[in-house]
Amino acid sequence: MELEEKYIALDKSLLRYYSYNIENLSKKMEIKHLEIGFGNGEYILNFSLQKSDEFFLGIEYSKKYFEKTVRRIEKYKLKNVKLLHGEAFALVSFLFPDNYFDFVHINFPDPWPKKRHNERRLININFSLELRRILKDDGKIFFASDFEEYFLNSVSIFKKSGFSLEYLSNSPNPERLSKTKYENEFIREGKKIFYSVLKKS
């Protein structure tokens, strides 16, 4: 009962995956990619279409966006995408084994710019350490943001957690095969975007 109470304290929605065996997926196809906070789903869907031989997992906290993306997966009959609905830290911490993913993608998380709201930010030292745990050796984080202070702070946290910075630019790296809805809007508006790639070291 103690373990179940710990799950509930973190996120009630996690209970639906309490007996979920993620290892079963890897028997069908190698799981390479995890996108955290897939929003409208453009990035993960377009990426998975271009990498049809690789498996993608996505996490989204918003029920509206989760259900919308599920419908799009069904529409396009995609077989290499699996979506989870819940709080990212809880799902990452309790569902995924060590050294599991090749790539983690984090695109434009809410920067919570007001200082009193900083504790709500997705990227913190504990979450970064969990990402390092679930990534394979030399696994990579692809991180993009339109908010410079949050971007630089997050990169600093990743580096403190044992990641080395491989790429930092206002232009997407060549391995970035897709864009998010907001990313396309930012580009049209001429807004500066910050991109990085960090490798587990």
Segment 38-66 shows an average pLDDT of 93
9 has pLDDT over 90: no
94 has pLDDT over 90: no
For 30-180, where are the alpha helices, taking DSSP H only?
42-50, 63-76, 88-95, 125-134, 148-160
Structure-token pair, residue 200: 């587990």
pLDDT tens digits, 144-176: 999 999 999 999 999 999 999 999 999 999 999
For the chain, domains (ranges, CATH) are 31-200 (3.40.50.150)
What's the rounded Cα separation, in Å, for the pair 109 and 184? 15
pLDDT at 21: 52
- Which is nearest to 35 in space by CA: 97, 95, 94, 108? 108
Residues 6+ away with beta carbon under 8 Å from 168: 155, 194, 195, 196
What's the rounded Cα separation, in Å, for the pair 13 and 84? 10
The residue ranges of DSSP E strands in the chain, in sequence order, are 31-36, 55-60, 81-85, 101-107, 135-145, 163-169, 194-200
